[in-house]
Amino acid sequence: MDLINKFSNAFWSTQIWLPPNTTWADIAPGSRPDVVHANYKDLIWPIPFAAVVMLVRYTLERFWISPVGKSLGIRSSRPKKAANVPILEKAYAKSTRLDKKCLGPLSKQTDMSERQIERWWRLRRAQDKPSTLVKFCENTWRCIYYLYSFIFGVIVLWDKPWFWDVKSCWYGYPHQSISNDIWWYYMISMSFYWSLTGTQFFDVKRKDFWQMFIHHMVTLLLMSLSWVCNLHRVGSLVLVVHDCADIFLEAAKLTKYANYQKLCDAIFAIFTVVWIVTRLGFYPRIIYSSSVEAPRILPMFPAYYIFNSLLLMLLVLHVIWTYMILKIVVDSLQKGLMSGDIRSSDSEDLTDSSENARLANGSARSKNKSNSGASLAAGSAGEAGAGAVTQRKTNNANNHTTEAAGGAATTAAK
């Protein structure tokens, strides 16, 4: 017990987390009659709130989103199931990718030809894929949340001085009051990420499953630390800046699943513009304020350098993601159609599109219907922390999509 107390006292040292000559007692709730400081005990609220968020999501998907998707003709059926072959099931459990070297031994063990095994393998992989309707429901829910979060964030911050002048994030720090609307904005945002952490185990499984899981946890950690250290002003700005582009990303995916290709391309174009304006326009303004203006107003302390370094890392990721988006745009314009997906792809499907970091996706459909298409873009904000980006493009002649996949993590906003 003594060891735990020593570690806690060392970790929460005021010399690390607070400006000079400031103690935790100085920013405790009720320490000053004119300031309502953030209460670290409030961080427990997002966990039960997350259960409410999941209930709202289930209700919307079951009674509204799913019926709408079906009315649009989105497929809810799954492919035909593969025959139950225990030997092949055991091999499939070890690796979902069929190793050509294993075809011979498997053929001898099962008395099946190599072609039959390959056909079984394709059916088995298709069996694990979620239906288009399931993906439509997931993306619709995210689109609804990001739309709400952005609108609510703008309403909350509209009358706040730091929304119009970023330097106001630093005036009077750390003695800055938490208003009720900011409290709800933070709590609901954290509730959403707690809900994503839980539902991730039941949602469409992505290839970047664990990267996104870590991303959600890092996001929650950074938001929690910004709350404890009373850095809610800059945190709220980062949140609202990152939510905006995500609306159009999810909307583009929805129109893709509904086969509205032209509308998908139009939304993708809007996404690209909004992404560049917010991630390479407004966000760098926040970085400039935290890097240049804040040191002129505040005495520096270690936690400041920790948070600012993470914000700078996110900016670097934004530049990388923007390059990937523009590369796909140029490639798409050259081909005359949008092609590519810059986020995570569905598990065990090299040609199925999906999402992570929020960059771009699309494909082409020919007159003989040998190829199907849609455009998407992916990138995230969450989202503070670190991330990884990968890209892949594949084509087939059986109405699959081409994709380039990327993974990422984001800041206190996401």
Tens of pLDDT along 43-99?
999 999 999 999 999 999 999 999 999 999 887 776 677 788 888 888 888 877 787
Tokens read off for 287: 């970085």
pTM here is 0.74
What's the rounded Cα separation, in Å, for the pair 172 and 250? 38
Q: Which amino acid is at 299?
A: P
* 149 & 235 share domain: yes
What's the rounded Cα separation, in Å, for the pair 411 and 414? 5
| DSSP state at residue 26 | G
Query: 């003989």: which residue's tokens?
Result: 368
pLDDT tens sequence across 344-389: 444 333 333 333 333 333 333 333 333 333 333 333 333 333 333 3
- Mean pLDDT across the chain: 79
Is a pLDDT exceeding 80 seen at residue 126? no
Tokens read off for 164: 């119009």
* 61 & 183 share domain: yes
* 218 & 297 share domain: yes
Is a pLDDT exceeding 60 seen at residue 16? yes
What's the rounded Cα separation, in Å, for the pair 404 and 400? 13
Domain assignment present for 298: yes
* Phi and psi at residue 202, to the nearest 5°: -115, -15
Q: What is the mean pLDDT of residues 165-189?
A: 95
CATH code for the domain of 118? 1.10.10
* 118 & 148 share domain: no
* 158 & 264 share domain: yes
Give start and end residues of each alpha helix (H) in 258-346: 261-277, 283-288, 294-297, 302-335
Domain assignment present for 287: yes
What's the rounded Cα separation, in Å, for the pair 364 and 399? 9
Q: 405 forms bridges with which residues in the sheet?
A: 343
Instruction: Identify which of 211, 186, 156 has the alpha carbon closest to the alpha carbon of residue 387.
Output: 211
Is a pLDDT exceeding 50 seen at residue 2? yes
Q: What angle do CA 397, 128, 199 make, to 5 degrees?
A: 125
Query: 């949140």: which residue's tokens?
Result: 239
* 293 & 395 share domain: yes
Domain assignment present for 411: no
Domain assignment present for 177: yes
* 179 & 240 share domain: yes
- Lowest-confidence region among 2-6, 204-208, 285-289, 374-378: 374-378
What's the rounded Cα separation, in Å, for the pair 257 and 31? 54
Query: 């072609």: which residue's tokens?
Result: 115
How many separate domains does the chain show? 2
What's the rounded Cα separation, in Å, for the pair 388 and 208? 9
* 114 & 161 share domain: no
* 167 & 232 share domain: yes
* 117 & 254 share domain: no
Q: What is the mean pLDDT of residues 380-404?
A: 34
pLDDT tens sequence across 274-299: 999 999 999 999 999 999 999 999 99
